[in-house]
Amino acid sequence: MPSYVRAGSLPHKRHIQFRRPDGGLYAEELLSTKGFESVYSLLYHERPPTATLDVLPWKRPQVRLVENDPLRNRHFKTGALPPSGLDAIESRVPLLGNADITVSIAQADRPMEYFYRNTGGDELLFVHHGAGVLETQFGELAYRERDYLIVPTGTIYRLIPAAPTRMLVHESSGSVKIPRRYRNEFGQLEEHAPYYERDFRAPVLKAPVNEQGEYEIRVTNADRNAVYIVQNHPCDVVGWDGYCYPYAFNVDEFSPITGKLHMPPPAHATFEAPGAAFCAFVPRLFDYHPLAIPIPYNHSSVDCDEVIYYVSGNFMSRRGVEEGSVTLHAAGAPHGPQPGAVEASLGKTSTDEVAVMVDTFRPLMLAELALGCEDSNYFRSWVEVPASR
């Protein structure tokens, strides 16, 4: 989506005859979004992607969500979850969700033995720990720690970890986009954007898997699920081009915008999706006014729920959080530095923290995992503890 990409063999015009060496026709496929009116790609398969041998039920466990009631700030310690022994899809455990987005933790300990396709919206996977390959019909996308993997709706994929992979998973109901204010009238990233097209990694197209058999694709679309058994290998693509493809962005490549005084979260925006805004907080120099307070002021974001996932470093403005912690600062609930944190921050010139955030503009509900690992005293963490005598 950041820019036009072409890979492999293509005919010189779209929608014309494109023949294999044996004289047969390659099968052209349009993968488009918003009907035919938003980004799309054209893929050329050895054989048609439509050959469906069977469609079976995929009975996924129902996600039970409860209201954030009483409405308050919360802290979930997800870092201590045991290894799952499962793959990237089966290990997904929802944490928070609403009609726009579901946020889950996944701990992929083994390769997926089937393909997966989410046709209900884009997925944004943040890799906390681990490395491996996302195998797709567009090619292979190698991933590593602190990568965002942006997976457009309709992508068929299989995640193959080379090392156990812990991810924060965002399932959106729409498109994950680069904020409009970072792009010029032609879509190119502006000079003031905190990243550049060169920072995004596209999949590497491999030799087509020119095989027939019975291949399993687990398909999900909102709450509707199915298992497709298809005759032709999904990765039998000889070439593709367009703007719709999975890509990776490592937050180490994010060039944070810093200032004389405190910069609010929108200065750290990475992506956006319907009802959600994503930010990355990465190692950076602090504000350079001689009297600047480096850490955030007290605030209540009255019209959004703020979710921060703590990745690494010293989280100076938050008491009690650790790697893998998730804080939910609920709409309207005041929060800010805990007692003593402002004084402790004075004179500091930089931070080594890495954290990623998603703000949602509709209320988030809580899933069972969240309630099971909640630090239920977090909302009291701003109370001043009297000095002992």
Residues that bind Fe ion (CB under 5 A): 306, 329
| Burial class of residue 289, CB neighbours in 10 A (0-12, 13-18, 19+) | exposed
- Nearest distance from C-beta of residue 306 to Fe ion, angstroms: 5
| Burial class of residue 263, CB neighbours in 10 A (0-12, 13-18, 19+) | middle
Cis peptide upstream of residue 70 (ω within 30 degrees of 0): yes
The whole-angstrom separation of Cα 104 and Cα 126 is: 11
Q: Whose Cβ is closer to Fe ion: residue 151's or residue 328's?
A: 328
Query: Could you give phi then psi for residue 329, rounded to 5 degrees?
Result: -95, 105
- Nearest distance from C-beta of residue 267 to Fe ion, angstroms: 13
Structure tokens at 97: 């969700």
Structure tokens at 161: 């970890």
Q: Whose Cβ is closer to Fe ion: residue 204's or residue 267's?
A: 267
The whole-angstrom separation of Cα 45 and Cα 231 is: 13
- Nearest distance from C-beta of residue 32 to Fe ion, angstroms: 37
Q: Whose Cβ is closer to Fe ion: residue 24's or residue 266's?
A: 266
Q: In Å, how far from its chain's centre is CA 164?
A: 18
How many residues are present in the chain? 389
Q: Whose Cβ is closer to Fe ion: residue 76's or residue 138's?
A: 76
3-state DSSP call for residue 70?
A: coil
Q: Whose Cβ is closer to Fe ion: residue 110's or residue 362's?
A: 362
Torsion of the alpha carbons at 73, 330, 276 and 67, rounded to the nearest 10: 90
Structure tokens at 379: 């909302």
- Nearest distance from C-beta of residue 385 to Fe ion, angstroms: 22
- Nearest distance from C-beta of residue 105 to Fe ion, angstroms: 21
Q: Whose Cβ is closer to Fe ion: residue 20's or residue 262's?
A: 262
- Nearest distance from C-beta of residue 58 to Fe ion, angstroms: 38
Place of tokens 């003593």: 340
Q: Whose Cβ is closer to Fe ion: residue 87's or residue 306's?
A: 306
- Nearest distance from C-beta of residue 305 to Fe ion, angstroms: 10
The whole-angstrom separation of Cα 121 and Cα 119 is: 6
